[in-house]
């Protein structure tokens, strides 16, 4: 079934916000690292518009998921769509509030001014990794899982083993701790001192869809609904695009 695109005009958003309770609340939000730059741009705008305050916890997807499964209190989650769906099945999130927010692909980070590796094709990408002195990516989370499997499929896992550093890739490249980093493009563009060498070749590219939902035991469910609405606004879409992601917002199933 084709999903209905959920777009909230600025005028409609203003009317919705004006009709909601004016009491300011603190909303506990759990956000995966690949959406961090977007949220850092959106949070001040949302707080100013709604009057609510966001208390945000950032982290890699798998550790955040584990914390939620163990019962950590939160109101709203922005994670990979796969993770959101699994947490809905485990009754940690409200299914009728689920909405796709954005999509992002993976890329290669290099230090500003460094020679740009050729990664146009899969063979070029393989050669660039083999030639690199060091490669950084996070072991935990969806990126690490995907890259480990990819290196196995490409037959270069053993060759790269001694070069890999499981540290934050963009920051490691910026600080000279690694020659190249591999992560979501949205985690490369905001970091000072690094630049995007390019996306992974299309035949091995992996896209992560970011989704959001309200916690089943949310203490501030009404305020969380306001945030969910805001993520479908033109303001949110512009910030998402500015951070190298594609807005893919779909209407929550309960709307």
Give pLDDT tens digits for 51-87: 999 999 999 888 999 999 999 999 999 999 999 999 9
Q: What is the pLDDT of residues 98-120, one digit of tens each?
A: 999 999 899 999 999 999 999 99
Tell me which residue has tokens 């980093």.
181
Q: How does residue 20 score in pLDDT terms, banded at 50, 70 and 90?
A: low
What CATH number is given for 106-204 in this structure?
3.40.190.10
CA atoms within 13 A on the CB side of 154: 23
Six token digits for residue 80? 């990979």
Q: Would you kindly state where each structural domain of the chain is located, as residue ranges?
A: 10-104+209-247, 106-204
Whether 151 shows a pLDDT value over 70: the answer reads yes
Average pLDDT on 116-140 reads 96
Whether 84 contacts 98, CB under 8 Å: yes
Same fold, 10-104+209-247 and 106-204: yes
In CATH terms, the fold of domain 10-104+209-247 is: D-Maltodextrin-Binding Protein; domain 2 (3.40.190)
pLDDT value at 44 more than 70: yes
**For 175-192, what is each residue's pLDDT tens digit?**
999 999 999 898 899 899
**Whether 208 contacts 142, CB under 8 Å:** yes
Task: Give the pLDDT of residue 84.
Answer: 97
Structure tokens at 88: 């809905």
Helices 81-89 and 61-69, axial angle in degrees (round to 10)? 10
CA distance 39 to 153: 34
How far, in whole angstroms, is CA 144 from its chain's centroid?
14
């Amino acid at each position: 079934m084709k999903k209905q695109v959920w777009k909230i005009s600025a005028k409609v958003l203003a009317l919705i916000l004006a009709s909601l309770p004016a009491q300011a609340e603190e909303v506990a939000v759990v956000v995966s690292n690949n959406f961090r730059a977007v949220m850092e741009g959106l949070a001040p705008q949302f707080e100013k518009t709604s009057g609510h305050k966001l208390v945000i916890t950032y982290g890699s997807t798998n550790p955040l998921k584990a914390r939620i499964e163990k019962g950590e209190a939160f109101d709203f989650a922005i994670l990979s769509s796969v993770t959101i769906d699994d947490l809905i099945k485990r009754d940690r999130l409200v299914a009728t509030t689920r909405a796709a927010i954005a999509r992002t692909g993976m890329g290669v980070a290099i230090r500003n001014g460094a020679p740009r590796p050729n990664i146009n094709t899969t063979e070029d990408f393989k050669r660039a990794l083999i030639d690199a002195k060091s490669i950084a990516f996070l072991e935990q989370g969806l990126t690490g899982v995907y890259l480990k499997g990819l290196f196995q499929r490409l037959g270069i896992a053993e060759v790269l083993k001694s070069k890999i550093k499981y540290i934050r890739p963009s920051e490691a490249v910026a600080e000279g701790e690694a020659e190249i980093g591999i992560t979501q493009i949205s985690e490369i563009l905001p970091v000072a001192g690094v630049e995007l060498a390019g996306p992974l070749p299309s035949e091995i590219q992996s896209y992560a869809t970011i989704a959001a939902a309200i916690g089943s035991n949310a203490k501030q469910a009404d305020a969380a609904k306001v945030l969910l609405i805001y993520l479908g606004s033109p303001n949110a879409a512009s910030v998402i695009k500015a951070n190298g992601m594609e807005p893919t917002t779909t209407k929550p199933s309960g709307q």
